[in-house]
Structure 1
Amino acid sequence: MEAFYIYLIKSSGLIALFYWAYHFLLRKETFFTSNRWFLLLGLFTSVLLPLVVLTKIIWVESTPVNYDWSSLPINTIVDEDHTEEYIYLGLAVMYCIGTLYLLIKFGFDFYSLQKVFKGKTIKRQADFKFIDIQDNLAPFSFFNTIVYNSSLYSTSELENILEHEKVHSEQNHTVDVLISRLFCIVFWFNPFIWFYKKAIVQNLEYIADDEATKKISDKKAYQFTLLKITTHENCVAITNHFYQSLIKKRIVMLNKNQSKKSNSWKYILILPALVAFVFSFQIETIAQEKKSEQIITEPSKTNENSVDVYKINKNTTDEELKEKSSNLKENYAIIATFSGIKRNSKNELTAIKVDLKKGKEIAQKMETKGTDAINEFGITISKNDDGMLTVNFGSDEKMINQKSIVVAPNAPSVTEKEIFINGKKVSEDDLDKIDPNEISTMNVNKNDNKQEIRIITNNHRKMINENDIYINNEKVSQNELERLDQNTIERMDVNKDDKTIRIITKNGIQYSQERNLPVPPTPPIPPVFNITTPVPPAFPKAPKAPKGDPIKGDKKAWKEFEKKMEDFEAKMKKLEPQMEAFDKQMAEFDKKMEPFNKEMEVFEKKMKVYEQQMEEYHSNLERERKK
């Protein structure tokens, strides 16, 4: 259950990440089709990437540990705390209620759609199905079916509407709408998914408007049709309907100049964030002890009759594990928890984690993980004449008073280990003293018989982020500073006013290793304008059409509506100079962006050179490894 909640949180975070990337970088660009695939890819990436887990194994020295249980009562009864289970259960109930409600609403929307289709005459033309209804509904399309009320519009207006809906049908926009609805059902608790769905639907309208105006000679007449359709408030939820409340934004996008192709660099900015997500949350570090000679300590005054061994092998079933856990609790008041259980196709154990506790004290922990079946091991409980209780894991035949962690076969023997904290070489004792909560990043490099661990603390990371760093009068990046061996530093000056750190190294040597690693170029900074983004003129509110048929309905109301429409069209005509001024402002804004776009072109060329350098660097490393 906990793993499922963590998965939902990770997926929700990725959904928010893709939404903000679209909102701040792509929303105002005219790459409508590319934006469509970006938004859909964002949804599927958000549900699949949290399932990708990379494993990193760290081999450490084996350290025998014995615990003295003489001070603890042997028959203490431990009451289990179920608070956490109740919290998870309450969250599960809330999640199921919300999901069930949205599923019912989703089904009701389909039922409403079928009521619209039922009993209506269908006209077929090419790959489209047309249904002319008498109800006062906004025009919409559902896959290849287009529904409209021809009595509400003139011939030219109806032509504009049908061209728009044909685009929705031809490009299967209904699939996008249904996918976004399903994601809203699963992630209903995440507020960003509702904004995400709105962005998808809005972008689909941009696509349909853009494609439809290419086939229509009078672009302004199309915009008037948009405004007229806004008077129809009734629409079907799961369809592509012509009416959208953000009509002003659609008209603005219709009149906006096409974005330059060089702006497409914005799409790749999401990649570093995804890489950071994987390295931060999707790497599972497993510490395993190196295989070494087993150490057997002679028990002090141990009576063989007081030794109890609980054996676990590859064929041990889940029921047997539960029985062993029950016996340990009943006989010794020890809480045994078996987790991380994995089995192969033969139902053999390939991974298991064992936690042994007595009260608030931890007795022992053991974990084994691999692709092959586990070796047999045992939980050894012994008590001497003095009442001392000893708990150990063992893997030999006696399984008495041993400390032997089961590891994968043929584990490599680490002969040399180097530890660096903030670039300074330290001992294992220094590593043990560091607070795990203060660790920002930890990287482990293994080359043949040498192991290197590099740790960066939060305070050190904060200092790096707040200052410009210079090594030997050359400005460097964070990665370069983190590779610097502090033993080579001759002098370091920190200027709090200028927020700079200047480092001078001995003999100009900066790096203890990876000296030839290429440095990526720095992207240009977007310009800061004194002017704001041009704002389109305020459009007058279109009059609301009366209900019913204009021929059989209230003729007086329809006559007043036609008069109001004439006034509305006159007001829109007066806005034409303002729209032309708005277009000029947009052209001026695009012109001011040209220098930045040129800088981006230079940056992209440098990135290509950097990629070639990285390929050569990795090729050289591969050749050195083969030697």
Structure 2
Amino acid sequence: METLFIYIAKSSGLIGMFYIAYYFLLRKETFFTANRWFLLAGLFTSVILPWIVFTTIVWVEPTPTDFDWSRIPMKPVQEESFEINWYLVLAIAYITGITLFLVQFALDFYNLNRVIKGKTTHQQADHKFIDLKENIAPFSYFNTIVYNSSLYSEAEMESILEHEKVHSEQYHTIDVLITRFFCILFWFNPFIWLYKKAILQNLEFIADSEATKNISDKKAYQLTLLKITTHENCVVLTNHFYQSLIKKRIVMLNKNQSKKWNSWKYALVLPVLVAFVFLFQMEVIAKEKNQSTKIEKSTTNDVDVYKIDKNTTEAELKEKAEILKEKYDIKTTFSKIKRNSNNELIGLKIKLQKGKEAETVTEVNSSEPIKDFAIAITKNDNGTINIGIVTQDSKANDKLTLSNNVTSHNIHISDDTHIFIDGEKSDKTEMDKLDPKDIATVNVNKNNDSQEIRIITNKQAKMANNNNIYINDTKVDQNELEQLDQEKIVSVNVNKDGKTIRIVTKNGSYNIDSKDFPAPPTPPEAPDFKMKTPAYPPLPKAPKAPKGDPMHGDQKAWKEFDKKMEEFDKQMKKLEPQMEAFDKQMAEFDKQMEPFNKEMEAFDEKMKVYDKQMNEYISKVEKENKK
């Protein structure tokens, strides 16, 4: 999570840098199209460059590893204090902000769609024109141009349409959507909102500059800009003919073209980007020569040490776990292993467990490589074993929580102890005769006031592996079966071949094959239709009406339209027999479906009964489980 926030901070800084460069160097220049690509390039550079890291490897002499781990004291149990995870708090705030702005974006898109959807459009070349009656400012959205022609004169409409056509032809809507997307991602950064304003202003400068090239009266165009200022009804996610920058637009229209040599200003951003890379995207990695990652042990007989450092591999972790299991019967689990780009350990969770007597868990999660630490095993004079996590210095590893010491005691066998070997009762004499190599598992249980020792030999364990044992419908091994409290057993079922054993306990779940389990109803089969679903006859395409009305519009176009409509009516009359045949086919199809529909209704009623039976069955099982 820390890495994510560092990335966001770098991207935000680059966005601010590009905006400052535009504001002080390019804002007053008339390189409108070049400014457009500069601003867009700034956004994409801001999100891509922080991902690029240049690494340099420096080889150093290996650190001496003759430290006497056995001299490190095993620290006592320490309770963890409550600490606020500020990264989590910031993440929640960040995601909340994104969610709110996404909701706002969805509402804006809905409002835009409501304005455009269902309206009559007129196609002209690559543009679609929508003439509304609402008092709304002219705007364009991709190739759709929306306006209210009743509010403007013919000359004013010419200026407006030329302006909006530039927005449409140059795909300025894409710029608007990209900017909006960045505002959602970087909503907390004030520069992104200034950046958005700069992009929208520059798009208007582009449209004004290109539109005036096709209009003879430049002064009339500027007067149209002033007239549009009275209309404040604007639709978001679009390019407006009117933005709140009329004065700036008029100034830029009358400004002399910038000299070409001023384009050198664009290159000034390159040294800043290079400085950013050298300051934040260069990583120096120090690697030791001839590193050895073998298991390191203490030179004394009282302490065994298993060292772990940032370069320890998964294979070496597995080797350590196997040795601890074989020598001390300590189950060691390594999980949540995380590495950086240099394959160094930055995250690791260690769980050490000695039967049911002792357990300790240690976890590290950081963006930096872990510091050296070790699993230390000490043997006391009384036969007890201490397990702990230790580090080289007294300060310990600030990325690791010092784990609790755990102690495993030797078991004293009293005379009244019940000993079972492979499920049969035995005694201490027979147990002493066993070769330790032949023992698979040893379990010590306390049953009421007496103590039990249950031993499974390798031979019995191998035989048990051939059987399928289920306790409360969960498959278990022979070891778990031996530990089961016999007083809790409700029933034991063995199948004919003797290879499957099913046991149900008092607190367990009942088998799904119980006689009380309700049977679901069988759904009806769909009828074998003699006919396919009838297809609707193809209809001729109706001609489009010309612009204007029949009285004041293009008379020639309207006469041509009338002829096309007569032809359309003739074609529709020819289709009347096919339409009648389609209606008859649909009636026949519905008739065939009637028996199936009745069966489905009956099936729905049976399903209601089945649902009721299932609820009663589940309630019964829950009551039995609580007993």
TM-score, structure 1 as length reference: 0.52
Closer, same or farther: CA 78–380 of 1 in aligned 2, 3 Å: closer
The answer to whether residue 48 in structure 2 is matched with residue 48 in structure 1 is yes
Deviation string for 1:405-462 (max 9, x for gaps)? xxxxxxxxxxxxxxxxxxxxxxxxxxxxxxxxxxxxxxxxxxxxxxxxxxxxxxxxxx
The equivalent of 1:74 in structure 2 is 74
Pick 1 or 2: higher relative contact order, CA cutoff 8 A, min separation 6.
1
Matched-pair contact (CA < 8 Å) for 2:296–2:306: no
Matched-pair contact (CA < 8 Å) for 2:182–2:192: yes
The equivalent of 2:180 in structure 1 is 181
The equivalent of 1:276 in structure 2 is 275
The answer to whether residue 23 in structure 2 is matched with residue 28 in structure 1 is no
Closer, same or farther: CA 293–75 of 1 in aligned 2, 3 Å: closer
- Where does structure 1 differ by over 6 angstroms across 4 or more consecutive aligned residues? 68-72, 292-298, 309-313, 317-325, 354-358, 384-393
Note the C-alpha offset of 1:83.
2.8
Note the C-alpha offset of 1:74.
1.4
Closer, same or farther: CA 45–319 of 1 in aligned 2, 3 Å: farther
Matched-pair contact (CA < 8 Å) for 1:67–1:390: no
Matches within 5 A, 1:473-492: none
The equivalent of 2:376 in structure 1 is 381
Distance 1:83 1:209 in 2: 58
Matched-pair contact (CA < 8 Å) for 1:301–1:385: no
Closer, same or farther: CA 309–172 of 1 in aligned 2, 3 Å: closer
Matches within 5 A, 1:88-237: 88-237=87-236
Distance 1:255 1:310 in 2: 72
Note the C-alpha offset of 1:293.
8.3
Matched-pair contact (CA < 8 Å) for 2:129–2:145: yes
Matched-pair contact (CA < 8 Å) for 1:128–1:144: yes
Closer, same or farther: CA 392–244 of 1 in aligned 2, 3 Å: closer
Closer, same or farther: CA 324–342 of 1 in aligned 2, 3 Å: farther
Distance 1:2 1:133 in 2: 52
Matched-pair contact (CA < 8 Å) for 1:68–1:388: no
Matches within 5 A, 1:544-623: none
Distance 1:245 1:143 in 2: 21
Which consecutive unaligned segments of at least 5 residues does structure 1 have? Answer: 326-330, 344-349, 369-376, 394-627
2:99 counterpart letter in structure 1? L
Matches within 5 A, 1:233-252: 233-252=232-251
Matched-pair contact (CA < 8 Å) for 1:122–1:130: yes
Deviation string for 1:64-107 (max 9, x for gaps)? 145567786514224445635x2111111111111111111111
Name which of structure 1's ranges 314-323 and 254-263 shifts more when overlaid on structure 2: 314-323
TM-score, structure 2 as length reference: 0.52
1:39 counterpart letter in structure 2? L
Closer, same or farther: CA 390–13 of 1 in aligned 2, 3 Å: closer
Distance 2:388 2:113 in 1: 73
Q: Secondary structure at the match of 1:197?
A: helix
Matched-pair contact (CA < 8 Å) for 1:68–1:390: no
Closer, same or farther: CA 64–159 of 1 in aligned 2, 3 Å: same
Note the C-alpha offset of 1:22.
0.4
Deviation string for 1:235-262 (max 9, x for gaps)? 0010001111111111110010000000
2:254 counterpart letter in structure 1? N
Which consecutive unaligned segments of at least 5 residues does structure 2 have? Answer: 325-329, 351-359, 393-627
User: Alignment partner for residue 345 of structure 2, among 322, 344, 352?
Assistant: 352
Matched-pair contact (CA < 8 Å) for 1:382–1:389: yes
Matched-pair contact (CA < 8 Å) for 1:143–1:172: yes
Matched-pair contact (CA < 8 Å) for 2:312–2:345: no
2:164 counterpart letter in structure 1? E
Matched-pair contact (CA < 8 Å) for 2:339–2:345: yes
Distance 1:117 1:321 in 2: 68
Q: Secondary structure at the match of 2:63?
A: coil
Q: Secondary structure at the match of 2:181?
A: helix
Distance 1:366 1:176 in 2: 39
Distance 2:283 2:349 in 1: 22
Q: Percent identity?
A: 57
Matched-pair contact (CA < 8 Å) for 1:139–1:241: yes
Distance 2:300 2:313 in 1: 33
Distance 1:21 1:112 in 2: 35
Distance 2:207 2:255 in 1: 15
The equivalent of 1:6 in structure 2 is 6
1:30 counterpart letter in structure 2? T
Distance 2:222 2:322 in 1: 74
Matched-pair contact (CA < 8 Å) for 1:380–1:392: no
Closer, same or farther: CA 300–173 of 1 in aligned 2, 3 Å: closer
Distance 1:290 1:223 in 2: 74
Distance 2:91 2:222 in 1: 48
Note the C-alpha offset of 1:295.
11
The answer to whether residue 260 in structure 2 is matched with residue 267 in structure 1 is no
Note the C-alpha offset of 1:286.
1.1
Distance 1:150 1:210 in 2: 23
Q: Secondary structure at the match of 2:202?
A: helix
Distance 1:318 1:18 in 2: 47
